Amino acid sequence: MTAMIKRNVSEMIACDYCHFHRCRWTKHTAGDPPENCPGNAFFSISDTYLEKDEFRRRVDIARRIARYNSAEKVWYLDPTRNDPFTGYDLKRVIEVEVNNWSPENDLNLMDVIEYVGIGFESAD
């Protein structure tokens, strides 16, 4: 499939992993996030019991990229969070952390968008 849009990895926000079809998410960047979020893509922080410290660590990460829905017991991606992960840090957190917390977590970038590495990478 051919990429239709080019987007800098450094401008990525949670919307890049949600890509809700009724939202104009491709118009928003780390410097210009949406004012509100319908909340379409979700994830879990664990399928089993976690030790207290690990649970808190995951919740701290989740709070920077999502909001919790207590009725459904899942986290919905939300780029309007305080101090959100963006760019390379967001990409690392989703791909290295969140997608490994549960087999049900499967947050991915869209194939029709070409993500280019313009900008500064996170120092890991």
pLDDT digits (tens, 9 = 90+) for 78-107: 999 989 999 999 999 999 999 999 999 999
**What is the pTM for the complete model shown?**
0.86
> Residues 6 or more apart from 58 whose CB is under 8 A from it?
45, 46, 50, 97, 101
DSSP string, 5-55: EEEEGGG--THHHH--TTS-GGG-BTTB--S------EE-S-SS---HHHH
